[in-house]
Amino acid sequence: MSVARFWRQQVQRYNLVGNHCRNCDEYYYPPRTTCPFCRRNGEMEEYKFSGKGELVTYTIIHSAAEGFEHQTPYALGIVKLEEGPRLTSQIIAQPEDVKVGMKVRPVFRKLGESGDKGMLHYGTKFTPA
């Protein structure tokens, strides 16, 4: 399988797909095979999140990891999706415009690149709604 095909098959990365337990009504992202509350009694089903959410907390990155230096300063935050799960993501906005409690929506963006051939990785980031 080619590397590009492998990344295209990462449905949850591209589409915010997780799980919903029909037994306890909890939502999970990334997807799980078993509900941590219901264990064997849980009935997990695939669930596509709307991506709408709220910024719970954030930090402004001034000294970035290798490969991200050109993006500084940028906001990295924890987003609570409307359905409940929280995830860490870059917030695409001017640092001075980022506020706790602001509504956000998902956008599909380049996450980075790796390897000597510069393989690109794409995924979800968030922007003000």
Identify the structural domains of the chain with CATH numbers, from first to last. 51-128 (2.40.50)
66: CB partners within 8 A, 6+ apart: none
Comparing CA positions, the residue from 30, 101, 88 lying closest to residue 61 is: 88
- What is the model's pLDDT at position 12? 62
- What is the model's pLDDT at position 31? 87
- What is the model's pLDDT at position 3? 59
- Is 79 within 8 Å of 54 (Cβ atoms)? yes
Cα dihedral 101→103→108→112 (10° resolution): -20
Q: What is the pTM of this model?
A: 0.83
Place of tokens 């995830």: 87
- What is the model's pLDDT at position 46? 93
Q: Which residues of the chain have pLDDT under 70?
A: 1-13, 115, 118
Per the DSSP assignment, residues forming a β-bridge with 86 are: 80
